[in-house]
Structure formats: C-alpha cells, structure tokens
Structure 1
C-alpha cells in the first residue's frame, strides 16, 4: 500500500481532475489552491459552529440534503457494521416520542422524569428527520462506531445550514420494542445505539461556542 503522502497526492490529483472537468478555471494551480484552502476552512468553521439544537420549524428537509447527510454518516470511521434508519414518517416519529416519554416517566431518573413532566416536551424535539444508528450488540465498539457516524452528520448538517442534536436517552422507547423496531426497518440482530435529529432550526443555530481550553494538555 502506498504511504500516506503518496495517497494524499493521488487524492489531490483526483480531486483536481474531477473539478477541472466541470470548472475549467481549476486548471490554474493558484485557483485550485485557493478553493482547497477555503474548503478546509469551511469544514473547520462547521465544526466550531455546530451546537445541539432542541427546537425545530415544521418544515421538511429536502431529499437531496438527506442523501448528502447519509453519505456523510457512511463516510465516518467505523469498526464492524452499522445500519442507518432515516425516519421521516410523522406517525413513527410520534410513536418514538410517546414510547420514550413513558420510559422517562418510569425511569426513576430525576432529570428524565423532570423532562417528561414538561408540557409539550418531545424527546425528538419536533425535528422532521431522525437518523437512527443500529449495530450488533456484541460489537464492543458499537457506541464508538455509531457515534462517529452521528458526529459526521451533525457537522454536515451545520455546513448545510441545518440544526441537529445527538440523541441517546430517547432510544429507551425503541430498544426491546420489537413491533416498533420492525416498523422502523431495523435489520434483525441489530440494536439501536444512538441517533441524530436534523431540521430547520427555530433558534439561532449558528451562534459560536465558548472556546474551552482547560480540558487540554500537550505532551511535546
């Protein structure tokens, strides 16, 4: 296998060839270098602007964007297999909310019980799309694998101007509910691990995070 520098060079050449086919100006090395720099900066900016959004507009997400988000999730680092269920059906989203609320109410967890007691509270926050990730329960790295996919989708959603939120506790209403899992289309033998809701934010989803540096140390 070629070393990393050769692989990166080949990737760079491939990208330039593909872009030049559609944008002749990229034959100019300076134009291509500017585009590549801007593209990298856009990625970093999306990572920095990402935040958990818990309020969404009643507006669907375009099919083309959903396809892009699925591809982003499938591009994540992974160990073993995982499955993505893209849930847009209002009835199924409502059932997930209802089942999760019941679990919250009976959880004995003060935080979850407090949320369930809030009027109008929805564990999926009213988002129109829910990406649910499932993996074999026996995979010791199932949480890491599916969370990597979830992270890629949240960053891609931010870059596309959408809000998103990582979902975990709401899955209590899905696990063990074979009928609901069948409705969702989760393959036999896989267990729901985590998810991401995505939609058009009803709040300021692009406000910058407070920079946190206290949790970092460097060994140089």
Structure 2
C-alpha cells in the first residue's frame, strides 16, 4: 500500500473477526511504532502485547470507550517513561507519533484498528497500571485494538481549506 493511500483510507475499525493476529504481524506493527520520530531520539516508549481474552475483557469493562476489546483478538498498549533525561515533556508527542505509525502499519497489514486513549484520565491510567502490573514510573498512554476487520468503512477526505492559514492567522 502506498503511503498516501494508507493515510487517506485508514479508518477506526471496531468490529473484528475472531481470527488471531500472528506474532510476526504484531512485531511488524511494533517496528513501525519504534520507527517513529522522538524528541532527541530518546524513544521513551514501552509496549505491551495483550492477547489474553480475560485481560482484553477486563480493559473493555474498565474503559468506557474500549468496548471493542471484548471481541478483539489483540491489542497493543503504548506506555511511556516520562523520566527521560533530556526532553521530559515531549513523551506525549513521541508516543502519539508511535501510535499513528502503528495504526498505519496495521492498516497496511490488512488489519482493523482503533486508538483508545488512556492518558491523561487518571482513573484509566491507575486501573490499567494495576491490571497489567505496570511500574509506577511508567505511564500507560494509549491502547490500539487489532483484528481482521468484520466491517468496512470507505476512506473519506478530511481536508478542510478553512483550516489553512498562510504566514499568519
């Protein structure tokens, strides 16, 4: 898939077939995430592969916008170590870039995926940290549900010329 095609046709997919997602595909998605730019190349991210149904179901019950995980064969949790030495306050942008790379890589692999925000909702951060045994200094940032799509959504243009300004507002 060409880059622009992937960007313009990627959609949030919340319904999945029960087929498992292979470890090789998951690792290629993780490689895409780790290929994202990061401030000072600090790469503050950590990733947790979640493919146990009981964990996916518990997250779907805890998070009001993660109901799709109940029927998802896998998810990837993006976490951050905000204590990086040089650029402490940039981990949010760094992890956001990793998430977008992973969503595009999943789409390229024929998977459906959706970004599920966790940070900065303290209750979700604490619940996710406790459920998955994440150390206190690591922040659960977002999850991405993954699966072979059981729904189709056509690409759509979001280009809006009224949002573009030349040289000043």
Q: Structure 1 segments of 4 or more deviating over 4 A?
A: 169-174
Q: How many residues align?
A: 158
Q: Which has the higher contact order (CA 8 A, sep 6+)?
A: 2
Q: Which digits, 9 at most, give the CA deviation of each residue in 1:145-199, with x for residues without a partner?
A: 11111100111111111111111159766522353131xxx34510101121111
- The change in CA–CA distance for 1:46 and 1:212 in structure 2 (over 3 A counts) is same
Q: 2:55 aligns with which of 92, 102, 111?
A: 92
8 A contact 1:53–1:201 mirrored in 2: yes
Q: Which digits, 9 at most, give the CA deviation of each residue in 1:41-96, with x for residues without a partner?
A: x1111111111112111121122111110100110112331101111111111111
The aligned runs of 1:38-117 (5 Å cut-off) are 42-79=2-39, 80=42, 81-101=44-64
Partner in structure 2 of residue 209 of structure 1: 156
Q: 2:115 aligns with which of 141, 153, 166?
A: 166
Unaligned runs of at least 5 residues, structure 1: 1-38, 102-114, 116-120
Structure number with the higher helix fraction is: 1
Counterpart secondary structure, 2:114: strand
Partner in structure 2 of residue 195 of structure 1: 143
8 A contact 1:154–1:164 mirrored in 2: yes
Counterpart secondary structure, 1:55: coil
What value does the CA root-mean-square deviation take over the aligned residues?
A: 2.6
Whole-Å separation in 1 of the counterparts to 2:10 and 2:69: 18
What TM-score, normalized to structure 1?
A: 0.63
What TM-score, normalized to structure 2?
A: 0.80
Partner in structure 2 of residue 176 of structure 1: 126
Unaligned runs of at least 5 residues, structure 2: none
What is the CA-CA distance between 1:124 and the residue it aligns to? Answer: 3.0
Q: Which digits, 9 at most, give the CA deviation of each residue in 1:104-135, with x for residues without a partner?
A: xxxxxxxxxxx7xxxxx815362222111111
Q: Which has the larger Rg? A: 1
